[in-house]
Structure 1
Amino acid sequence: MAWLLALVAVHAGLVSAREGVQVGERSAFAKLVPAEEVEASAAQQYKQMLSQARGKQAVATSQNAQLQRLRRIAQQLIPFAQEWNPRAKEWQWEVNLLRSDQVNAFCMPGGKIAFYTGILDKLQLTDDEVALVMGHEIAHALREHARERMGKTAATGIGANLITQIFGLGQVGQSITEMGAQLLTLRFSREDETEADLVGMELAARAGFNPRAGISLWTKMAQANRNAPPQWLSTHPASDTRIGDMEAAMPDVEPLYQRAKRPQ
């Protein structure tokens, strides 16, 4: 009987194994905050940000060649997002380009993507490099890193509120709405950033973009970092560490790239 159980376990392991990077399950803390509320808050903030930027004539029009390029790359990446998060199938994806010297890009929960002209112009990104940046940012949304951070804050607040109720000290902590208002300025942990690198590499590889562009991308980032760190690097691991992690993951993603249909 023992040998049969062992055989079943081995078979289950083979069935559950997937090709690509391995990053584990999403954090249980994320479940403390409803995904719908996080995504709704993100959509509202994204809309407000675009409105403010349009008031400064800082949003690229649909005729802008760089914006068209970004949207084309996004269309190639998005079909591979659902495997990482089933909710992505229902997201109302948006891609916009903001005129700013900042070396920055982001994807908010619910698929709200923005690039700054600074990251494209200053780093002279190739399509493959843009796909690695975009894949990284999409990965943050797919892995629900913002929701996880909010869940951890909520858990802390719940603990604090229990103590204050016991000792009669009043209410403490932020509401989910207040935490959600920080989505545009949220800083991720280094572990989140490393995870986003790996998932982003896989998304790009499956979409037919060369994952080795991550190496050239972070070489450019390191050069841009010599004088003053770009905003995009604020909490990211050091370039050497990041490049080493990417090199280690290449055997997991290069076969996907070799079989992928190349972007037109």
Structure 2
Amino acid sequence: MRQDPFGDQGRPRRRGRGGLRLWVLLLFAGYAVYYWVSNRSTDPYTGETVLIDKSITPEQESVLGLQAYREILAQEPALAADAQISRQVREIAQRLIAKVPQVEDALAAEHGMQAPHVERAFDWEVNVLQSDQVNAFCLPGGKIAVYTGLVPVAQNADAMAVVMGHEISHALLRHGAQRMSEQKLAQLGQMAGAMSGMDQQQLQAVMAVYGYGRALPYARKQETQADEMGLMLAAAACFDPQAAVPLWQRMQQTGSGGQPEFASTHPDPGTRIENLQAWMPKAMRYRARSCTASGTQ
């Protein structure tokens, strides 16, 4: 067979494809770095560097929070405002909300910073929802809900205040905006992978690594931050912060936190209890500064 005098020169070359993939990845990586650097800031309450997209304002968060709140209430109607548990939960919320500025200032001062006081723009609302869920939440803008399933586990106002303080802290720490910013980074990674020619299996593997290596640890850190701030808030509102430990022991008995910690968005109940015990002396100091000897406001 006669050899082709031009060898493989007549065949289409594919060398450029690999180079193009590399350039795509480099461009996306460069933009991701730029996005992180230009949108990072120091959280005044924790002293840690956080990512919050500067285009996401607290006012926008509140609008999104209100929209989500209305959707939830449309599906899970609230108990009557004059129901006993509704009144009790609202009274706890009022005590916590009254101490928000004081706790924010104290935590920010620990890091030599000033509190931004995003709560000044909040339109607080508190409802109790009939559900077996052992849960509560506070959306951006101050929209709070407590599920009736939490009541028998909390057992008392002190423990309920710890849970509600935790949920309020998520809104004060702007964890919603942080999650949206982190999601944008993840989306950039997915786009980079897709445009560089990765198949679906490869993309899933990369996102799994991102989830276990970044997203889940980040979510657990937010929960820990809310645990600490919420404990200080409950203490400053003259609730007994020591109720937090038996609360989480009861939570553990209900099966909460059944997943291994590394695969969960929340710390293991045992980890939370250790943290709460470590923070307890600080919480008792907050309580002593805010409350009379009788433990009331």
TM-score range, shorter chain: 0.7 to 0.9
**1:247 pairs with one of 274, 277, 286:** 277
Q: Residues of 1 paired with 2:287 and 2:219: CA distance?
A: 28
1:139 equivalenced with 2:163 (yes/no): no
| Alpha-carbon offset, residue 154 of structure 1 | 2.2
Q: Residues of 2 paired with 1:227 and 1:155: CA distance?
A: 27
Note if contact 2:237-2:290 (Cα within 8 Å) is conserved in structure 1. yes
Q: Residues of 1 paired with 2:73 and 2:55: CA distance?
A: 29
Question: Hey, what does 1:102 align to over in structure 2?
Answer: 133
Question: Hey, what does 2:90 align to over in structure 1?
Answer: 71
- Structure 1: give runs of 5+ residues left out of the alignment: 1-20, 168-186
Q: How many residues align?
A: 216
- Structural mapping, 1:202-213, within 5 Å: 202-213=232-243
Match of 1:39, SS state, is: helix
**1:33 pairs with one of 52, 56, 73:** 56
Q: Residues of 2 paired with 1:140 and 1:250: CA distance?
A: 20
- With normalisation by structure 2, the TM-score equals 0.65
Q: Residues of 1 paired with 2:45 and 2:62: CA distance?
A: 25
Note if contact 2:99-2:233 (Cα within 8 Å) is conserved in structure 1. yes
**1:53 pairs with one of 56, 76, 91:** 76
Structure 1 segments of 4 or more deviating over 3 A? 155-167, 226-229
- Structural mapping, 1:124-203, within 5 Å: 124-157=154-187, 189-203=219-233
Give the superposed CA RMSD: 2.9
1:43 equivalenced with 2:43 (yes/no): no
Note if contact 1:76-1:263 (Cα within 8 Å) is conserved in structure 2. no
- Determine what percentage of the aligned residue pairs are the same residue: 38
**2:151 pairs with one of 111, 115, 120:** 120
Note if contact 2:161-2:239 (Cα within 8 Å) is conserved in structure 1. yes
Note if contact 1:85-1:143 (Cα within 8 Å) is conserved in structure 2. no
Match of 1:27, SS state, is: strand
Larger radius of gyration: 2
Higher relative contact order structure (alpha carbons within 8 Å, sequence separation ≥ 6) = 1
Q: Residues of 2 paired with 1:124 and 1:28: CA distance?
A: 33
Cα 1:22–1:246 change in 2 (3 A) is farther
Match of 1:24, SS state, is: coil
Q: Residues of 2 paired with 1:162 and 1:228: CA distance?
A: 35
Match of 2:241, SS state, is: coil
Q: Residues of 2 paired with 1:29 and 1:227: CA distance?
A: 28
Q: Residues of 1 paired with 2:120 and 2:243: CA distance?
A: 27
Q: Residues of 2 paired with 1:46 and 1:218: CA distance?
A: 27
| Alpha-carbon offset, residue 159 of structure 1 | 6.8
- Structural mapping, 1:15-34, within 5 Å: 23-25=46-48, 27-34=50-57
- With normalisation by structure 1, the TM-score equals 0.73
Q: Deviation digits for residues 144-186 of structure 1, max 9, x if unmatched?
A: 111101012224445777899999xxxxxxxxxxxxxxxxxxx
**1:111 pairs with one of 142, 154, 159:** 142
